[in-house]
Structure 1
Amino acid sequence: MTKALLMYSSREGQTKKIVEYIAEQLSGMDCDIVDLHQNAEQIDLQAYDKVLIGASIRYGKLNKKLYRYIEDNVAQLEKLNAAFFCVNLTARKEEQGKDTPQGSAYIKTFLRKSPWQPSLIGVFAGALYYPRYNPFDRFMIKLIMTMTGGETDTSKEVEYTNWEKVAIFASKFSQQ
């Protein structure tokens, strides 16, 4: 049986939710799900046939710990032909191509900054969880959404994730 490691870096939980959904799609694989920020450095990547890393964007950036993990494990990630996906609110603009590796400014920045150049990359829209945010984050995210034409009602939680697109990515990952 193929053994897969699905790692995530998430602030509000949407990236973790996407990783869990991908694991459900990978029937026939033994999947371990690990928070990149908790004991990831103790994981033996050689114990896995496949590795997937998912990370969310917060205020335009990926978490610095993600880059450190990649730098420390780049040789193994390349050997395993590991895959990567990014979760951000800009990807909700599918009609503008913001949900593709070619159209995502975040992926372009990731590929420029990262020593690892994954062959399979996904870009998924995240979710707005206004009621869960602290006052500063709620204000800042509302400001960003106002500037980008998004939801500004701070009483709402809105999920933008295109689950069909996630399922297609999971299928590609399983065949990789």
Structure 2
Amino acid sequence: MKKVLFLHSSNDGQTIKIFKHIEKQLGSEYQCKVIDLHQSPNIDFSLYDRILIGAAVRYGHLNKKLYQFIGQNRKQLDESKVGFFCVNLTARKEGKNTPETSAYMKKFLLKSPWVPKLQAVFAGALRYPRYNLLDRTMIKLIMKLTGGETDTSKEVEYTNWEKVSEFSVEFKQF
């Protein structure tokens, strides 16, 4: 059985939901473990056949703890089979949903000392009823400016699950 480590930098859980979908796609020959990289874990990457990092954007930025984790584990990241995906609401739009076209992935690659060998960008989910007042107000403003959903009674999942399944195949063959 192959061992896979999923490391997440998540805000509202969509990144973890994407990991669960990938785990299902990988099948029973893979044993997957999910760890929150915000907890600054000490990880022996050699225990895993593959590693996948998933990070969500909030207010235009990836969490600074992601960059700290990368800095602390750069050598292991370079020596292991590690993929990376970014989750953001902008990726709901065609032309902004690939590693080559995503402003957030480009920003990540400029800021990070590590370049993932396998990359993807997925649209996230809009969960207005679950947000606190500040987040709901700020995200509504951002969505208004970008032509998105502004009805704060709604939850909208923009994730393209077929695209996640295709990435799962790439990750399996990686």
Q: Quote the residue 1:31 is aligned against.
A: 32
SS in 2 for 1:85: strand
For the 8 Å contact 1:7–1:19, the answer to whether it is kept is no
- Counterpart CA distance in 1 for 2:100 and 2:158 is 20
Q: Quote the residue 1:76 is aligned against.
A: 76
Q: Quote the residue 1:99 is aligned against.
A: 97
For the 8 Å contact 2:49–2:81, the answer to whether it is kept is no
The ranges of structure 1 where at least 4 consecutive aligned residues each deviate by more than 6 angstroms after the TM superposition are none
- Counterpart CA distance in 2 for 1:138 and 1:156 is 11
Report the Cα offset of residue 4 of structure 1. Answer: 0.8
For the 8 Å contact 1:22–1:167, the answer to whether it is kept is yes
Deviations 1:52-107 (A, max 9, x none): 0000000000000000001111111111131000000000002xx11100110000
What are the equivalent positions in structure 2 for 1:1-176 lying under 5 Å apart? 1-27=1-27, 28-38=29-39, 40-94=40-94, 97-176=95-174
SS in 1 for 2:41: helix
For the 8 Å contact 2:8–2:35, the answer to whether it is kept is yes
> What TM-score, normalized by structure 1, do the two folds share?
0.96
The answer for unaligned runs of 5 or more in structure 2 is none
The answer for unaligned runs of 5 or more in structure 1 is none
- Counterpart CA distance in 2 for 1:126 and 1:155 is 17
Output the aligned Cα RMSD.
0.9
